[in-house]
Structure 1
Amino acid sequence: MAPILDVLSGKAQKRPPVWFMRQAGRYLPEYRELRASTSGFVDFCLTPEKAAEATLQPIRRFGFDAAILFSDILMIPLALGQDLTFAAGEGPVLGDLPDVSSMRDKAAQAGEALKNVGETLKIVRAALDPSRTTLIGFCGGPWTVMTYMLNGRKAYDRSLIRAFVYEQPELVAQVVDIVIEASAHYLKMQAESGAQVLKIFESWAEGFPDPLFEQLVIEPHIKLVNRVRALGVTLPIIGFPRGAEARCHDYIDAVDVTAMALGTATPLKLGVELQKKKPIQGALDPVALRSGGKALDAQIDTILDAWGQGPLIFNLGHGIFPDTPIAHVEQALKRIRG
């Protein structure tokens, strides 16, 4: 069995398997060359041959234990009929929210609407050694995806999006449920196309007062996992409520994920407690990876000392910075693998 699948079954490894969030990206010269061959980022994500090449580049260079689908969490709004572009220096820009009824009608067809992503997965799966490298598919968490859908380019402003929760609760509830249904069908399509593990990226899970974390993160994740299972998908699922360290126990106890990914700010003691319940993933500081040197080695050793005796997938607490030196990634992998 591939090392990551072994860990997800609950077995500790002598040295943990490793992959890095955003391991395909701008820090790689081969990625920059590939990206320059396509004008728009959405087209890049939806061109199977190019997206597959981006997915495979870090596997060829570093031999990571997992390849994660090269795509974006905002494919779901696109499948629901919302305009999506990526502006240079600004990130994603979404158009007006479509009519709720039209989105509801499209939710069950999200997998078909995004079938090019499935073609990417098929290409990648065929290129991987199944005994060594695991293929991970993913979606954005319902709350995070909804924040972009309602707030467009200002989704990073948490106060603005929380205003929708207080002022338009019915709309928020409707859109979240639509995103859950669309995401479940999207993940089902990914499983059928060759993904071996699925991950839910709830990138904006921090800063909620009670009871909003339960309402907007825990309950939607319960619904999403249950819906994916109801559609017949049995693959391991990793949950990642980034920035919600104070609520990790609540999350792992309530949501039936196979494993939990941990952010950079996770206390080591908390990781030990969570690891007694389920396998964990994380949580190296991407700033330490960018900095390299003795500080990087020291942080890796600290994580291995604290969590290495249990089921652990070594990863970052967030994505690789674009200006991270390749030599520092090589340094990290050498240290992790011993």
Structure 2
Amino acid sequence: MSRPTNDTLLRALLREPTDYTPVWLMRQAGRYLPEYRETRARAGSFLDLCKNPGFATEVTLQPLARFPLDAAILFSDILTVPDAMGLGLYFADGEGPRFERPLRTEAAIRELSVPGMESLQYVFDGVSEISKALKGSVPLIGFSGSPFTLACYMIEGGGSDDFRNVKALMYSRPDLLHRILDINAQTVVKYLNAQIERGAQAVMVFDTWGGALSTHAYREFSLRYMQQIVDGVTRTRDGEMVPLVLFTKGGGQWLEDIAQTGCDAAGLDWATDLGVARARVGHRIGLQGNIDPGVLMGSPQGVEAEVKRVLEDFGPHYGHVFNLGHGISQHAPHDNVRVLVSTVHEHSRRMRAEQPFGESAAPVEDWVSPIIQL
């Protein structure tokens, strides 16, 4: 596996110097694009779209045809994993994802097991097909949900405002929750390794609901199992590094803990100041993020100003991948997306030219150690 022609994203995640800040967008292949909606209509349903490698390839490539993004991300869904475990995933109109057989009894939890990866072959076929279609242009990012986030859906049976069933289990039978999480972590390791084997050049773990936990619970029930993933995922293929990104939405307060896992980069939502985050972790990991997706609902001038602010918060340093703090809205105007991407590229190049690496843009650990020691 050789690096793509545009390997800026990979170099940024590995904290290597880059000519500009690379950018991709969470949910960049999605409902805000009319071509996506047309493909989904042809597929018949969201699940059929996910499970057909041809359709998945088509929608993965669609945003790259519109915008000069620095990466493609596999089109799939985090809930394909519990679906492979036999929980019966379906999508109800107006209700989002649901499971026919949520984990509500001890017997069901005891019966849970790591599924054979052949049940997810359609995902791996999609990775292979997308990799081929990219023709070495930009990296392909593979992904999975975190063990805790997957468990939330598996126990609640779908989305939740308060995770009452998860927390009831956590505080009454933590042994059962740990069993689910361990099986999820084992599965995610196999799942991500299979994606890497088929051509994913970076992988990301989405811990969407980790921020709903207390600090103690986060470390015990979320971070512990993401550590298992960091330790188990193959981080090289054919002599090339495969960066791994951990993203806990609402997890900025645990950034140091995330850095200690040994991941290559941490994703941040928009509630965390990038400059402060960089001061906290130094050059130990890269940072990804973190503009508010709502900015795209404003004016083009507002988008440009906010992009510049985020870039300047981080500074003209390496180790930054520009992204939204969460997924792009289906209502985001295309012109604003175009402004965001072009401003990231142009302004970050200008910042590098004005303050090149090796001068006052020295690695952050050179100047931040007194802060950390406090």
TM-score category, normalised to shorter length: over 0.9
Within the candidate set 247, 251, 267, 1:261 is matched to 267
d(CA) in 2 for partners of 1:257, 1:218: 12
Pair 1:118 & 2:124 matched: yes
Pair 1:294 & 2:265 matched: no
d(CA) in 2 for partners of 1:241, 1:4: 20
Counting matched residue pairs gives 333
d(CA) in 2 for partners of 1:63, 1:230: 27
Within the candidate set 311, 321, 327, 1:313 is matched to 321
Alignment match, 2:311: 304
Kindly state the Cα deviation for residue 165 of structure 1 after the two structures are TM-superposed.
0.7
TM-score (norm 2): 0.85
d(CA) in 2 for partners of 1:47, 1:334: 32
Alignment match, 1:242: 249
Kindly state the Cα deviation for residue 291 of structure 1 after the two structures are TM-superposed.
1.7
Matches within 5 A, 1:1-338: 1=3, 2-97=7-102, 99-104=108-113, 107=114, 109=116, 111-130=117-136, 132-229=137-234, 235-253=242-260, 255-273=261-279, 274-310=281-317, 311-338=319-346
Alignment match, 2:349: none
Comparing 274-283 and 155-164, the one that deviates more: 155-164
- Alignment-mate amino acid for residue 196 of structure 1: Q
Kindly state the Cα deviation for residue 295 of structure 1 after the two structures are TM-superposed.
2.2
- Alignment-mate amino acid for residue 286 of structure 1: P
Contact 2:236 2:242 in 1 (8 A): no
Contact 1:18 1:64 in 2 (8 A): yes
TM-score (norm 1): 0.93
Kindly state the Cα deviation for residue 206 of structure 1 after the two structures are TM-superposed.
1.0
Query: For the structure 1 residues 116 and 150, does the alpha-carbon distance in structure 2 shift closer, same or farther, using more than 3 Å as the test?
Result: same
Query: For the structure 1 residues 307 and 249, does the alpha-carbon distance in structure 2 shift closer, same or farther, using more than 3 Å as the test?
Result: same
SS of equivalent residue, structure 1 residue 280: strand
SS of equivalent residue, structure 1 residue 86: strand
d(CA) in 2 for partners of 1:266, 1:294: 23
Query: For the structure 1 residues 40 and 275, does the alpha-carbon distance in structure 2 shift closer, same or farther, using more than 3 Å as the test?
Result: farther
d(CA) in 2 for partners of 1:288, 1:115: 37
SS of equivalent residue, structure 2 residue 200: coil
d(CA) in 2 for partners of 1:7, 1:209: 31
- Alignment-mate amino acid for residue 138 of structure 2: T
- Alignment-mate amino acid for residue 313 of structure 2: A
d(CA) in 1 for partners of 2:69, 2:100: 37
C-alpha RMSD of matched pairs (Å): 1.9
Contact 2:84 2:119 in 1 (8 A): yes
d(CA) in 2 for partners of 1:230, 1:272: 23
Kindly state the Cα deviation for residue 238 of structure 1 after the two structures are TM-superposed.
0.5
d(CA) in 2 for partners of 1:114, 1:202: 20
- Alignment-mate amino acid for residue 131 of structure 2: R
d(CA) in 2 for partners of 1:9, 1:79: 32
d(CA) in 2 for partners of 1:244, 1:134: 26
d(CA) in 1 for partners of 2:115, 2:99: 21
d(CA) in 1 for partners of 2:163, 2:112: 24
Kindly state the Cα deviation for residue 97 of structure 1 after the two structures are TM-superposed.
3.4
- Alignment-mate amino acid for residue 338 of structure 2: E
d(CA) in 2 for partners of 1:269, 1:151: 37
Kindly state the Cα deviation for residue 84 of structure 1 after the two structures are TM-superposed.
0.3
| Runs of 5+ consecutive residues of structure 1 not aligned to the other structure | none
Query: For the structure 1 residues 275 and 120, does the alpha-carbon distance in structure 2 shift closer, same or farther, using more than 3 Å as the test?
Result: farther
SS of equivalent residue, structure 1 residue 114: helix
Kindly state the Cα deviation for residue 9 of structure 1 after the two structures are TM-superposed.
2.3
Contact 1:77 1:149 in 2 (8 A): yes
d(CA) in 1 for partners of 2:190, 2:158: 26
